[in-house]
Structure 1
Amino acid sequence: SDLLKKVRKIIQPIANVYWKEGLPENNDPGAIEKRTLGLERNKKKKKNK
């Protein structure tokens, strides 16, 4: 899981660009920020399950 965390940190800036250019529903900058925050919340929720 430590390796996965490191990879996520490395790809985080790239992921934001990918969402903006690759997924039309996320062209709104606000939507990108919300999705990023949602992913952070999902990581914590998975640990609780």
Structure 2
Amino acid sequence: MDESTVVAQYDSGLTVRAVAELNGVSYGKIYRLLQDTDVQLRPRGGKPSREA
């Protein structure tokens, strides 16, 4: 599992869970990797809605 690939997958819009499944690792491992690499995590529940 390549760190830059994981970050790119998450940045492309995949959820933490989807990135974990794609790479065959746990949700927690991906979550920690993203935190350790200072990636801005999206809020739970998907992408934020557009502001009017």
Q: Same fold by TM (over 0.5)?
A: no
- TM-score tier by shorter-chain length is 0.3 to 0.5
- The structure showing larger relative contact order (alpha-carbon pairs under 8 Å, at least 6 residues apart) is 2
TM-score (norm 2): 0.35
Normalising by structure 1, what TM-score?
Answer: 0.36
